[in-house]
């Protein structure tokens, strides 16, 4: 565990929740870390989200995720594409996103659908929007090789992301499955065959309700927001 991990958790999640989030303040507290250290901290947060975020309310966890994972709150997640960080560390951190869903979202979110504005817990927005606010899939919307300068690294990273999304899609939780479909939609342009194969396999093995099925079929073609 990174020695600054507890300091990091407090910085990200231990803040008052208000309409205008604390991280938009002009004099907000900052957290400085090297690319390698930040990658370790992010990966540890995902891996241990089930137990280490249990002491924070759903509102604080949601606010924290939008801060450190979203591009409007910080640029922390961009370290997962930094050439200063060994690829193995970056891929491990991305792979750990699965545990954010399996150990945190699946346990704390209501089984409601965000794209239909169904009422859920305070944490549901992060579950639905994670792959939208994060830069991990955004860079593949138009070109499969714009996420990283090295095309081979981009392909490896893409493979890990696809694997994570497929595993999340198979969590028996409606909101988690919607979140995975949302993420698959974001990379459908760059790897349409992979996305269709993952969604087709899911639909073959599962019988989602009518609303989730409609969303899955749209995501299969990259047609959801």
Q: Give residue-wise pLDDT tens across range 184-206.
A: 998 888 889 999 999 999 999 99
Q: What pLDDT does residue 224 have?
A: 63
Q: Hey, which of 19-23, 55-59, 76-80 has the most confident mean pLDDT?
A: 55-59
Place of tokens 């299969």: 220
Annotate 189-220 with b (16+ C-beta within 10 A) or e (fewer). Answer: ebbeebbbebbeebeeeeebeeebeebbebbb
Cα torsion angle, 109, 110, 116, 122, sign: negative
| Calpha distance 132→130 (Å, rounded) | 5
pLDDT reported for residue 145: 37
| pLDDT tops 50 at residue 141 | no
Mean pLDDT in the chain? 91
Q: What percent of the chain has pLDDT over 90?
A: 80
pLDDT of residue 208 exceeding 50: yes
Please state the domain extents for the chain. Answer: 5-220
- The confidence score (pLDDT) of residue 149 equals 56
Query: Can you tell me which residue has the tokens 């890990």?
Result: 160
Q: What are the pLDDT digits (tens) for 64-79?
A: 999 999 998 999 999 9
Measuring CA to CA, which residue among 43, 81, 70, 78 is closest to residue 157?
81
pLDDT at res. 78: 92
User: Looking only at Cα atoms, what is the longest distance across the chain?
Assistant: 52
Predicted local distance difference test score (pLDDT) of residue 186: 87
Distance CA 150, CA 72 (A): 26
- pTM of the entire predicted model: 0.93
Among residues 71, 168, 60, the alpha carbon closest in space to that of 121 is found at 60
């Amino acid at each position: 565990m990174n020695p600054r991990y507890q300091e990091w958790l407090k910085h990200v999640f231990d803040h008052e929740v208000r309409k205008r989030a604390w991280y938009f303040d002009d004099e907000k507290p900052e957290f400085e870390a090297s690319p390698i250290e930040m990658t370790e901290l992010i990966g540890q947060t995902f891996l241990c989200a089930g137990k280490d975020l249990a002491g924070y309310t759903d509102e604080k966890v949601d606010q924290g995720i939008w801060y450190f994972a979203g591009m409007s709150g910080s640029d922390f997640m961009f370290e997962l594409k930094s050439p200063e960080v060994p690829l193995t560390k970056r891929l491990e951190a991305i792979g750990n996103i699965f545990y954010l869903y399996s150990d945190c979202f699946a346990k704390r979110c209501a089984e409601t659908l965000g794209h239909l504005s169904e009422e859920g817990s305070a944490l549901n927005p992060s579950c639905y929007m994670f792959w939208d606010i994060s830069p991990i899939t955004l860079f593949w919307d138009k070109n499969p090789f714009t996420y990283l300068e090295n095309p081979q690294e981009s392909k490896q990273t893409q493979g890990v992301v696809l694997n994570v999304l497929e595993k999340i899609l198979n969590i028996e939780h409606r909101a988690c499955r919607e979140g995975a479909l949302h993420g698959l939609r974001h990379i459908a342009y760059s790897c349409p065959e992979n996305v269709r194969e993952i969604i087709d396999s899911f639909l073959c093995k599962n019988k989602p309700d009518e609303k989730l099925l409609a969303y899955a079929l749209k995501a299969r073609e990259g047609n959801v927001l």
